[in-house]
Amino acid sequence: MTADHFLDTKGLTCPEPVMLLHGAVRDAGVGESIRIEATDPSTERDIPKFCNFLGHELRRAWRDGDLYLYEVVKGAG
């Protein structure tokens, strides 16, 4: 998977990963993808809610051991 942007939030806890994602989305163009790597389990709840509330697509969410991985695509909203 190749994303347009990469966001490393490993070691950060709520609400920092979502705050950084908000900034990354602001800097991305509509339709561009952002790959997020996180270690905070609360991102499983927070990132989907963020995408749903703000109109972005959570294209993919998966785990690799203790790592939580996401691909978000910036929506037009």
Which residues have CB under 8 Å from 23's CB, separation 6+? none
Tell me the two tokens of residue 62: 């998966």
Q: Which residues are catalytic?
A: 14
Cis amide bond preceding 41, omega within 30: no
